[in-house]
Structure 1
Amino acid sequence: MIGLDSQARIWLCTEPTDMRKSFRGLSALVRNQLNHDPLSGQYFVFINRRKTQMKMLYFSRTGYCLWAKRLERGQFQVRPSASGQRALTLADLQLLIDGIEVEKSRQFKRFSAA
């Protein structure tokens, strides 16, 4: 997995995305469809209609970065949402990339010094 900050905000676009889009096209989707600033340092994940390809766009200090994955078999498990986007945790993103779908989970409260 790529080195993501555990405190990073990750957004999944639940609407199908044209995977021919690159830096400019995906950053326009972030700004116009998801209503976020693509230069904010947040991570934006897009999946195609067949759910076999994924792209993640983010802005580092020196420019845009684009990460892509194409599945040879199977599909990414993404459920549509009314808003067209869903916030993910780093663990959720890792499960999505690895093809693991959690039907029902319960997260217990943990002590936090913050």
Structure 2
Amino acid sequence: MIVDYTKVDHIYIVCGKTDMRKSIDGLAAIVQGQFNLNVFDNCIFLFCGGSRNKYKALFWDGDGFMLLYKRIEGGKIQWPRSNREVRNISQRELRWLLEGLQIDQPKAIQNVAPAAFY
């Protein structure tokens, strides 16, 4: 099964550099130990290394973990490097990130709640 990121409850990215030699157990330990999140929830957890041309995604699909790994050829991901934190992002922000754009797009039109009609 391939992960459909539109059907997950949350998408989390681990900001900063992650040792990309870590496998499922090591990445799950980061999620649970450092950020106190449940790796068995319906969430995708994303990690990026120092070169910013590779990322890993960890996902529990109900009977086991999936570890997805991608190496970008000819580009870099604009991964947030400022702090060592986990950040909950939207599907739109994920698309931006994986297309090589920054997550924070100040000129993007933001969703707003419509005002009630009278």
Aligned partner of 1:79 in structure 2 is 80
Aligned partner of 1:20 in structure 2 is 21
TM, length-normalised to structure 2: 0.81
The alignment yields a C-alpha RMSD, in angstroms, of 2.1
Aligned partner of 2:64 in structure 1 is 63
Count matched residues. Answer: 111
Aligned partner of 2:92 in structure 1 is 91
Separation in structure 1 between the aligned mates of residue 45 and residue 77 of structure 2, nearest angstrom: 16
1:109 partnered with 2:117: no
Please list every run of at least 4 consecutive aligned residues from structure 1 whose deviation after the TM superposition is greater than 6 angstroms: none
Quote the offset at 1:9 in angstroms: 0.4
Give per-residue Cα distances to partners, 1:2-53, cap 9 Å, x unaligned: 5223552011100211111111111111111222111112110000011111
- Sort the Cα spacing of 1:48 and 1:82 in 2 relative to 1 into closer, same or farther, 3 A: closer
Aligned partner of 2:33 in structure 1 is 32
Aligned partner of 1:100 in structure 2 is 101
TM, length-normalised to structure 1: 0.83
- Please tell me the residue identity of whatever aligns with 1:24: D
Greater C-alpha radius of gyration: 2
Identity %: 27
Q: Which runs of 5+ in 2 are unaligned?
A: none
Do the aligned partners of 2:39 and 2:60 also contact (CA within 8 Å) in 1?
yes
